[in-house]
Amino acid sequence: FKQVEIALRGAYIDFKDNPFRNDPSGCLVHESDAIIWIRDGKVLQVGPASDLLPQLPEGIPVTHYRDSVILPGFIDSHVHYPQTPIIGAYGEQLLEWLNNYTFVAEQAFADKDVAREVARFYLRENLRNGVTSATVYCTVFPQSVDALFEEAQPYGMRLMAGKIMMDRNAPAALTDTAQSGYDQSKQLIERWHGKDRFEYVITPRFAPTSTPEQLEAAGALAREYPDTLIQSHISENKNEIAWVNQLFPQHKGYADVYRHFGLLRERAIYGHGIHLTEEELHLFSETGAAIAHCPTSNLFLGSGLFNIRTALDAKRPVHVGLATDLGAGTSFSLLQTLNEAYKVAQLNGVPLSATHAFYQATRGTAEALGLQDRIGRIAAGMEADFAVLDLQSTPLIRFRMKYADSIEEALFINMTLGDDRAIRATWVNGACVYDREQDAQQEVR
């Protein structure tokens, strides 16, 4: 067995503390010329090039990125890969959008070849955007989960995904039953959970499309497999909330439905949570459940403005992950997602600094998913997943950068103006899986 050693050289950032809880100026680590020394897919050591260069073993390949900053790979904590073909579908809010676009598109995934083709494009697009890890909704069809994991296998990505459970209020072609949803999910757990860097996510779509019997079955699975993740949606849209109150009149509210069925716990992550009450946020805080903040989606569907500061409030902190929520979300780029998160925070009265924003897109999201010991940082022992951010990727950014005089300002300019073009390269598990220059050459040929 031969150990694979490799190194990156360049500027990098990392977060040694949570800027929402500590003085932000002490949280951001920035080294302008560093070595990241990788062995077998993990960071062995990271530090100033002046210290580490002399220690590197002879002959080790060193990839040097100039005019860039190496970041921990971005993590997308809530995304629907089968909705890639319907991004930018006009005109509707959540419930109409689901019926008119989503439930039509998802039916095609009964065909595994369709699922494979979309999964392949979806994964490449993630890598083009520096997204190295994601928590993914598939469809009700188990083969749509197999297709995604099989396509991801060659990249060595840390990927979390699950089959949607949905046994009412959807087209017959898209529904399972409490029993078949349970059985199929269990089979997928046995097949994929813990294989490579994959984990299974128990995925009841949301309370309105599951009977109490199905939510009960999802809760039973979660107890049988306590180290799996759970994902669903909550309090995204006012009509959705009214519908849940009608369907579950015996419960105290939306969060209480999930609590009742044992679906609020550590490693459970709920999309949106825009309209959660203070009492419900307490429930999230006590149980350790997390919220996935999806700003581009919330603006696109007109769902509302999620208040990240309220959610993170230290008096009863709730974990928050950042997410695209494609295809209601409108960009694969976590930079563009931060751009919109900033504007949403502005409208809520407190802006989001670059330090807060980049923390939330990396280490903060890893914590929301219970993955903080593996991903989300560039530090010894962490898995070697990186996004290499080119700070000068467009004429406008290059021009604007002449007037920038700190790393915080450079990062803020890039989260406001940057997109997929700003990702110079993406590394997964200690290997380069995307290189912008090579991709450009392939297009020319």
* Contact code string over 220-239 relative to ligand GUN, x by CB under 6 A: -------------x--x---
Task: Read off φ and ψ for residue 322, nearest 5 degrees.
Answer: -100, 145
Judged by CB under 6 A, the chain residues 351 through 410 that form the site for ligand GUN are: none
Chain residues binding Zn ion by CB under 5 A are: 271, 325
> Alpha carbon 318 to chain centroid distance?
17
Question: 36 CB contacts (<8 Å, ≥6 apart)?
Answer: 7, 8, 9, 12, 43, 46, 70, 378, 384, 386
Tokens describing residue 333: 């780029």
* Contact code string over 235-264 relative to ligand GUN, x by CB under 6 A: -x----------------------------
> Alpha carbon 371 to chain centroid distance?
12
* Contact code string over 291-330 relative to ligand GUN, x by CB under 6 A: ------x---------------------------x--x--
How far is residue 349's CA from residue 309's CA, in Å, rounded to a whole number?
A: 10
Q: Which residue is nearest to Zn ion (CB)?
A: 271
Is the Cβ of residue 35 or residue 274 nearer to ligand GUN in the bound state?
A: 274
**Phi-psi region at 319: left, alpha or beta (left = phi > 0; alpha = psi -120 to 50):** beta
Is the Cβ of residue 31 or residue 167 nearer to ligand GUN in the bound state?
A: 167
236 contact, one of ligand GUN, Zn ion, none, CB 5-8 Å limit per kind: ligand GUN
Q: Report in angstroms how near the CB of residue 403 gets to Zn ion at its nearest.
A: 38
How far is residue 321's CA from residue 303's CA, in Å, rounded to a whole number?
A: 18
Is the Cβ of residue 102 or residue 355 nearer to ligand GUN in the bound state?
A: 102
Question: 185 CB contacts (<8 Å, ≥6 apart)?
Answer: 162, 163, 165, 200, 202, 203, 218, 221
Binding segment (CB under 6 A) for ligand GUN, from list 35-43, 94-102, 279-287, 382-390: 94-102
Q: Report in angstroms how near the CB of residue 325 gets to ligand GUN at its nearest.
A: 5
How far is residue 367's CA from residue 318's CA, in Å, rounded to a whole number?
A: 11
How far is residue 414's CA from residue 306's CA, in Å, rounded to a whole number?
A: 23
How far is residue 24's CA from residue 78's CA, in Å, rounded to a whole number?
A: 26
Q: Report in angstroms how near the CB of residue 236 gets to Zn ion at its nearest.
A: 8
Q: Report in angstroms how near the CB of residue 231 gets to ligand GUN at its nearest.
A: 11
Q: Judged by CB under 6 A, does residue 340 bind ligand GUN?
A: no
Is the Cβ of residue 368 or residue 378 nearer to ligand GUN in the bound state?
A: 368
Judged by CB under 6 A, the chain residues 43 through 82 that form the site for ligand GUN are: 80
3-state secondary structure at position 133: strand
Q: Judged by CB under 6 A, does residue 289 bind ligand GUN?
A: no
Q: Report in angstroms how near the CB of residue 289 gets to ligand GUN at its nearest.
A: 17
Is the Cβ of residue 102 or residue 129 nearer to ligand GUN in the bound state?
A: 102
Q: Give the number of other Cβ atoms within 10 Å of residue 88's Cβ.
A: 7
CB 345 within 8 A of CB 44: no
Q: Judged by CB under 6 A, does residue 102 bind ligand GUN?
A: yes
The footprint of ligand GUN (CB under 6 A) covers: 80, 94, 98, 102, 205-206, 233, 236, 297, 325, 328
